[in-house]
Amino acid sequence: MGVRTTKQRTAVVEVLQDRDNFLSARQIHRELGDRGFSVGLTTVYRTLQSLVDADAADVLHTEAGEAVYRLCSDEHHHHLLCTACGATVEIGGGPVERWAAELAEAHGYLMTGHSAEIFGLCARCRRSAEAGSA
C-alpha cells in the first residue's frame, strides 16, 4: 500500500478490509479495542492519514463534518454514501469528470483535481424511513 508496515497499521487495515462502509477514526479505534489491540487514537489518525497520502484509502467528510475512511480501489471513483447506515457504493465519474473539466475551462481554471460525493439514503434505509412515516 505504499506505507511502512507496523503491527498497528496492519490492525487498522484489517478493520478497514473487514468493512465495506466508511468508518471514523473513533469507530476504528473502538473496533481495535474490541479485537484486543491496544492502539492509541492518535496512532489510528496518523495511520489513516498515511493511507490517504499513499492513495490506499479514501477520506470523506460527512454532512456533519466528520472525516470517515475506507480502503479504495485503484481507479478514480466517487461514492454514494447512506447517511443513515453508512452503506457505500463506489461509482465511476463519467459525466461528472466531463462536467468538472468543462466548468473549470469555462472559468479559465486548469483543473488539478475534484471531489464529488453523493449523500442520501440507501434503498433499505429509505424503505425503513418511508414505513416509519406512514
Q: Does the annotation flag 72 for ligand binding?
A: no
61 assigned to a ligand binding site: no
pLDDT at 134 (0 to 100):
65
Task: Tell whether the model's pLDDT for residue 61 goes beyond 90.
Answer: no
Using one digit for the tens of pLDDT, what is the confidence trace for 19-41? 878 899 999 999 999 999 989 99
- Each domain of the chain, given as residue ranges in start order, spans 1-72, 75-134
Do residues 111 and 100 make contact, with C-beta atoms less than 8 angstroms apart? yes
Q: What is the CA radius of gyration of the chain?
A: 17
Sheet holding 23-24, edge to edge: 23-24, 67-71, 57-61
Geometric angle at alpha carbon 123, from 117 and 124, rounded to 5°: 120
Kindly report the pTM of this predicted structure.
0.69
Q: Is 82 annotated as a binding residue?
A: yes
Residue 41's pLDDT is 95
Tell me, what's the pLDDT at 3?
55
Q: What CATH number should be reported for the domain whose range is 1-72?
A: 1.10.10.10
Query: So what CATH class is 75-134?
Result: alpha beta
How far, in whole angstroms, is CA 51 from its chain's centroid? 12
107 is in an annotated binding site: no
**97 known ligand binder:** yes
Residue listed under C-alpha cell 503491527? 7
- 122 appears as a binding residue in the annotation: yes
- Give the type of residue at 103: L
